[in-house]
Amino acid sequence: MMTTNKNQVNVFREPGILHPTLLVGWETQDVGNVGKEVINYIQEQCGGEEVAELDPMGFFAFEGAIFKDNLIQIPHSKFKECTEEKLLMFSSDEPMYEKYSFLTTVLDFCVEQYGVGSLYTFNGSPTPMAHTEERNMFLVFNRETLREEFPENEYIEHISWEGPPAMSTYLLWAALKKGISGITVWVEVPFYLSSVKDPLAVKCVLSFLDEHLNLGINLQQLDEEIDRQEELLLELTEANPEVREMLEKLEREEELEENEQIFLSKAVYDYLQKNNS
């Protein structure tokens, strides 16, 4: 293993590809598990191998500890390589400190070692919608020319928005300074699925990437997960009249009160966790 003091990246082996497309998935505040599951699915389908890891010191807090299922949770930032598909994938928790330095470190490694010139990152966006509805995607670019390459259609929109920037937005800014073309994909996730995996949202992003990067991935496993989740949610609505009433209101595009949103989110989370274990 080689450690470069310049950029805090522990490199496990030399690059096996040049000029790959970079895919970035954030696992902190990961709505619908979109960031994590897109990367995992591609890795499983394409046989991706871990090639490097970013040293977390200076970017994450270590004054406390987080445990899950009796295991300590350590911040991670890993690079994985899919040779045949010419992909370099980066999955990471979002840094707590020195965000610009973190992103610069990541991008410098990708450019200097791999010659990366383009990237995609993806996020779930909590939406007041029912899970029975189609998921729309919203694209954000860091170059004007990309708007022409990715025109709007029935399920894809270009958005205008003002507010606090997400980590993916910071990434697009930093990438532009490095000469990297960048696209952020935001996919709708029913708000009550924010804390669990939304396989339909994950499939939407994977289908988009497959179409534009010619990955040739098989989505059958996701189709099965979608069917399973729909069956479970149907069972829940049949067993719980309150849940059914709230979902029907969402299907009619009616707003839920805050207490109704909390009730629905907890009921769905508890039921899916219990029946998917």
- What are the tens digits of pLDDT across the range 177-191? 999 999 999 999 999
Tell which of 202, 219, 236 closes a domain: 219
Q: Are residues 96 and 139 in the same domain?
A: yes
Q: Are residues 163 and 235 in the same domain?
A: no
Residue 260: which domain range? 222-276
Residue 86 belongs to a domain with what CATH number? 3.40.50.10900
Taking alpha carbons only, the member of 164, 161, 119, 162 closest to residue 142 is 119
Pick the range with the lowest mean pLDDT from 11-20, 140-149, 153-162, 219-228.
153-162
**What percent of the chain stands above pLDDT 70?**
89
pLDDT of 5: 38
Grade residue 7 by pLDDT with cuts at 50, 70 and 90. low
Pick the range with the lowest mean pLDDT from 12-26, 138-152, 227-241.
138-152
Note the pLDDT tens digit of each residue in 136-166. 999 999 888 888 888 777 677 776 655 556 8
Tell which of 177, 201, 219 closes a domain: 219
Q: Are residues 233 and 136 in the same domain?
A: no
Sign of the alpha-carbon torsion through 8, 57, 59, 205 = positive
pLDDT over threshold 50, residue 216: yes
Q: What is the DSSP string of 148-212?
A: HHS---SSEEE----SSPPHHHHHHHHHHHTT-EEEEEEEEEEGGGTTS--HHHHHHHHHHHHHH
Q: Are residues 105 and 228 in the same domain?
A: no
Q: Are residues 123 and 250 in the same domain?
A: no
Mean pLDDT, residues 13-23 taken together: 93
User: DSSP class of residue 55?
Assistant: -
Grade residue 10 by pLDDT with cuts at 50, 70 and 90. confident
Structural domain count, the chain: 2
pLDDT of 67: 47
Q: Are residues 45 and 141 in the same domain?
A: yes
Tell which of 219, 237, 258 closes a domain: 219
Note the pLDDT tens digit of each residue in 80-120. 999 989 999 999 988 887 888 899 999 999 999 999 999 99
Pick the range with the lowest mean pLDDT from 53-62, 117-126, 190-199, 267-276.
53-62
Q: Are residues 270 and 196 in the same domain?
A: no
Alpha-helical segments (H) within 14-98: 34-46
Edge-to-edge strands, sheet with 2-4: 2-4, 9-11, 49-54, 77-82, 87-92, 21-26, 118-127, 181-190, 137-141, 156-158
Q: Are residues 231 and 202 in the same domain?
A: no
Q: Are residues 117 and 236 in the same domain?
A: no
Pick the range with the lowest mean pLDDT from 88-102, 206-220, 245-259.
88-102
pLDDT over threshold 90, residue 210: yes
Helix 220-239 with 199-213: angle, nearest 10 deg: 160
pTM for this entry = 0.89
Q: Are residues 139 and 232 in the same domain?
A: no
Mean pLDDT, residues 110-137 taken together: 94
Q: Are residues 84 and 189 in the same domain?
A: yes
pLDDT over threshold 50, residue 261: yes
Q: Are residues 89 and 104 in the same domain?
A: yes
